[in-house]
Structure 1
Amino acid sequence: MATASAPLSSLLSLLYRSYPEAISPDTTELDLSHATSKIFPQYSYSAPQRTEIDQWLSKIQDLVAALNKQDKDIIDSILSELNSHLAGRTSLVGVLPSVADIAAYAVLAPVVEKWTPEERTGEHGYRHIVRHVDFVQNGALFGLRIPEEEKVAIDLDDIRFVPRPVDPREEKERKKKEKTAEQSALEEKPIVVGQSKPEKAKGKGRAQEVPESADRPAPAESNKEKREKKEKKEKREKLPKPGPPPATAPSPSLINLRIGHILRAINHPNADSLYVSTIDCGDAPGTENTSQDETTGRTVRTVCSGLNGLVPLEEMQGRKIVAVCNLKPVTMRGIKSAAMVLAASLRVAEGEDSHAGPVELVSPPPDAEAGERVFFEGWSEGEPEKVLNPKKKIWETFQPGFTTTDSLEVAFDSTQISILKNGEGSSEAAKKIGKLVTQSGGVCTVKSLKGATVR
């Protein structure tokens, strides 16, 4: 795709200024289709990703033409498509930067600047486009050289409309009512024109007689049906009601700890304290809250971690970690996080800043495979919960026992957990400090923090 496909002087100027080593100022014709790999040589792009970049460059050119013609229908259509596309992505091709993101910024920045707050983040606004514009102009991932006075002023906390989350109970009740209404409509007998319904006489009189039809059951059959229904009801009442399910013994094994492989990590576009990591946790394709990584083809989870400023970004690239995989997913400043990366930090007194540092990632054995189960010695029995119920506070109950030893091994100290000290767990295991080990027998460690808390 040659320059003619995107004649954007502001885009070319921005590229020359920001990437002088990749884009020469003397270039008169820029092949945008191949510009991404020159600007971002540190990333690998698959064939589908390159195709998607070209498609978005084409749509952006269509948007330029529509803006020049003031064709509102086409403008609204492209903006709606772009906004929906960005709803679940950091960039136009997932989490990787591309020249299409910069082209979109060059075209949309002056447009977004003129939008009212309602047009930006109102009920019918384009909030994801606004977030993307702010991310591109400020994100270290792109490194654009834009003077502060030329940037679009965006307040990420000014959200005019937040969609009301669907209440599961209300949704269930709504579907139940719809189903009841449908059944009633199906069971309702058709009304015959010219034939009135039987009317009940006042007092002790019986209903007026109506001609019997072939569909009307005989009185004897009706009585039989009544007897059968009564007998079935009596049988149901005699059956003993099932008791509550047996309680699961309290144990840190309810927490699903697994080896994770961070493929890549970037700065969160909307939060200075967060990283956004793409992590292979060994999930099967199609597992809930996962996606297929376009670069490697692996099934991955997107994970937000409050480690920015505590762990260097380069330490988050291409490494093995231990992940908590059954916490309920949460959305953190616009990005859904489906796991948690375990890290050790110094214990602090109540009221002190627990995120002041230093912080060290928990390191599994080098030969551990993504998805391999990790557990504390003495606490391996039973299967982890599919998803930890926040109301049961299982993570909050057992996490205070997560610690590091003088030999820098990650371990579980059951003496710190009240329900185990009171005899609700295995008394024999409760007297021990169990190391965090993999199924193959390796021990998980940290670099230097002794007696630290792990979370």
Structure 2
Amino acid sequence: MATASAPESSLLSLLYRSYPTAISPDATELDLAHATPKIFPHSSYSDAEKADVKQWLDDIRGLTTALGKGDQHVTDTILGNINQHLSTRTTLLGTKPSIADIAAYAVLGPVVEGWDAEKRTGEKGYHYIVRHVDFVQNGSLFALQIPDEEKVAIDLDDIRFVPKAADPKEEKERKKKEKAEALTAGQEKTLVVGQTKGKKEKDAVHEAPETTAEEAPAASKRDKEKKEKKEKKEKQPKAPAAPAAPPSPSLIDLRVGHILRAVNHPNADSLYVSTIDCGDAPGSDNTSVDEATGKTVRTVCSGLNGLVPLEEMQNRKVVVVCNLKPVTMRGIKSAAMVLAASPKVAEGEDSHAGPVELASPPADAPAGERVFFEGWSTGEPEKQLNPKKKVWETFQPGFTTTDSLEVAFDSTQVPILQGGESSTTPAAGAVGKLVTKSGGVVTVKTLKGATVR
């Protein structure tokens, strides 16, 4: 039987046995988030790696909860994420050991033990999770003290399907090579034709089939049509390139959103999962149909848990950013972002400590109504912002609140808009209020001079 049949108690027992100098046998609870440096003192960990460990521990707790509730959808989602992550890594951090690997083993061990060979290493199996479990329980990197009879039995020779991950670099080189070979072949063909043309032109004339009197008119017509088609194709002018849209916050798709309901994220303590009507047409990308209301909605994850009370996230109007690239946050795909204000902080300070207030449009504004900054209403938002162009990152520093508690855009905070004669700042002024298409103003409760994102 695997060590992790009861994850919490088994994990404690396993750590006591394996790392007696790092884990006190008198401890009844573990601060897992800070246990890694004690257990692996010869490895150093950056702040980013420590944060990754904490988040993986959250995921593993989420998996434990899902397994306990028998929630197969959440279980499959988390297992898929872990398996994909491990497909290019030896440990959850890449190559360094951490408490997250051991905690994962404590939960995944008995799960893997119950899988048949097809689920372990079949075409749709969790190959990398199985490999990780075997590595953690046997690897000298972790040096876990587990009796052989308690280890998960894994037959390393029973591989039903060998997945081959595509290497992006190799794929690029392959396509480049094929293109070069095709180009070379084309040049060689042209060269051969050129070399033989003069020598065999006379013979070619004699070898050509004769055209009868009956076939001559049809052949002449075909030649004429071919010539006209070629001339028409050659004379067709190229379409002029579309002019680039001027830099403007109007490229960002801001809309009124109606939060139908919000719940705690099952796998992350800092996130809410909201069901929001953004006015999308049925069947639009990144939407679904809400079973309770029949409305077309988006699922949105927001890091507001602990900053905005959950009851304030129910049945209310908000402003949403609808053309950011969707991202998967702890196993749930998020297709928009809720705008909220928080005090500006000095560089290096915690920008998520609060207080946080939601940007609120008028309560009677319909879901999907366009929202824009005064003076920046011209132009249509892009369907989806290209992350490489960093449109959101460019203009967000100008999102602020006024002394009148109105959400506004301060163009002086956006360097790209400060260019003398080339500046596109409206003549009306540097600061424009955030308004709905029908004229309502977006406001916050109390925060003045805040940052909005």
Give the TM interval when normalised to the shorter protein: 0.5 to 0.7
2:250 partner SS: helix
Corresponding pairs, count: 294
Measure, in 2, the Cα distance between the counterparts of 1:381 and 1:87: 42
Measure, in 2, the Cα distance between the counterparts of 1:254 and 1:354: 26
Matches within 5 A, 1:44-193: 114-115=114-115, 119=119, 124-125=124-125
Q: Could you say which residue in structure 2 is the equivalent of 1:431?
A: 429
Q: Could you say which residue in structure 2 is the equivalent of 1:253?
A: 250
Matches within 5 A, 1:280-291: 280-291=277-288
Displacement of 1:379 in angstroms is: 1.3
Measure, in 1, the Cα distance between the counterparts of 2:430 and 2:119: 60
Measure, in 1, the Cα distance between the counterparts of 2:392 and 2:307: 23
Mark the CA change 1:234 to 1:286 in structure 2 (over 3 Å): closer, same or farther: same
Letter in 2 for 1:405: T
Query: Does the aligned pair in 1 maintain the 2:411–2:425 contact within 8 Å?
Result: no
Measure, in 1, the Cα distance between the counterparts of 2:423 and 2:281: 32
Q: Could you say which residue in structure 2 is the equivalent of 1:413?
A: 410
Measure, in 2, the Cα distance between the counterparts of 1:306 and 1:161: 36
Displacement of 1:372 in angstroms is: 1.5
Mark the CA change 1:354 to 1:115 in structure 2 (over 3 Å): closer, same or farther: farther
1:315 partner SS: helix
Query: Does the aligned pair in 2 maintain the 1:285–1:299 contact within 8 Å?
Result: yes
Displacement of 1:342 in angstroms is: 0.4
Measure, in 2, the Cα distance between the counterparts of 1:166 and 1:213: 55
CA-to-partner distance for each residue in 1:267-298, whole Å, 9 max, x for gaps?
22233322211111111222221111011111
Q: Could you say which residue in structure 1 is the equivalent of 2:193?
A: none
Kindly indicate whether residue 240 of structure 2 is the aligned counterpart of residue 264 of structure 1. Answer: no
CA-to-partner distance for each residue in 1:110-135, whole Å, 9 max, x for gaps?
756634999479862379xxxxxxxx
CA-to-partner distance for each residue in 1:173-222, whole Å, 9 max, x for gaps?
9xxxxxxxxxxxxxxxxxxxxxxxxxxxx9664599899999xx957645
Mark the CA change 1:236 to 1:303 in structure 2 (over 3 Å): closer, same or farther: same
Query: Does the aligned pair in 2 maintain the 1:258–1:323 contact within 8 Å?
Result: yes
Kindly indicate whether residue 447 of structure 2 is the aligned counterpart of residue 449 of structure 1. Answer: yes
Q: Could you say which residue in structure 2 is the equivalent of 1:28?
A: none
1:403 partner SS: strand
Match of 2:438 among 427, 437, 440: 440
Letter in 2 for 1:391: K
CA-to-partner distance for each residue in 1:142-173, whole Å, 9 max, x for gaps?
xxxxxxxxxxxxxxxxxx99987999x99xx9
Measure, in 1, the Cα distance between the counterparts of 2:371 and 2:262: 23
CA-to-partner distance for each residue in 1:350-395, whole Å, 9 max, x for gaps?
3333223222211112222211211111111222222222233221
Displacement of 1:420 in angstroms is: 2.0
Measure, in 1, the Cα distance between the counterparts of 2:76 and 2:340: 30
Letter in 2 for 1:431: G
Match of 1:296 among 289, 293, 298: 293
Measure, in 2, the Cα distance between the counterparts of 1:117 and 1:350: 52
CA-to-partner distance for each residue in 1:7-32, whole Å, 9 max, x for gaps?
xxxxxxxxxxxxxxxxxxxxxxxxxx
Unaligned runs of 5+ in 1: 1-78, 89-107, 128-159, 174-201
Q: Could you say which residue in structure 2 is the equivalent of 1:344?
A: 341
Displacement of 1:439 in angstroms is: 2.1
CA-to-partner distance for each residue in 1:242-291, whole Å, 9 max, x for gaps?
22112222221221111111111122223332221111111122222111
Displacement of 1:329 in angstroms is: 1.6
Letter in 2 for 1:416: Q
Unaligned runs of 5+ in 2: 1-69, 79-107, 128-161, 176-198
Displacement of 1:315 in angstroms is: 2.1
Measure, in 2, the Cα distance between the counterparts of 1:353 and 1:116: 47
2:300 partner SS: strand
Query: Does the aligned pair in 2 maintain the 1:123–1:162 contact within 8 Å?
Result: no
1:437 partner SS: strand
Mark the CA change 1:267 to 1:163 in structure 2 (over 3 Å): closer, same or farther: farther
Letter in 2 for 1:445: T
Letter in 2 for 1:301: R
Letter in 1 for 2:344: R
Q: What is the TM-score of this pair, normalised by structure 2?
A: 0.55
Query: Does the aligned pair in 2 maintain the 1:276–1:305 contact within 8 Å?
Result: yes
Match of 2:352 among 355, 358, 362: 355
1:412 partner SS: strand
Mark the CA change 1:281 to 1:126 in structure 2 (over 3 Å): closer, same or farther: farther
Measure, in 2, the Cα distance between the counterparts of 1:120 and 1:363: 49
Task: Quote the sequence identity (%).
Answer: 70
Kindly indicate whether residue 226 of structure 2 is the aligned counterpart of residue 229 of structure 1. Answer: yes
Q: Could you say which residue in structure 1 is the equivalent of 2:399?
A: 402
Measure, in 1, the Cα distance between the counterparts of 2:225 and 2:209: 27
Displacement of 1:415 in angstroms is: 1.1
Measure, in 2, the Cα distance between the counterparts of 1:260 and 1:331: 20
Measure, in 1, the Cα distance between the counterparts of 2:320 and 2:406: 16
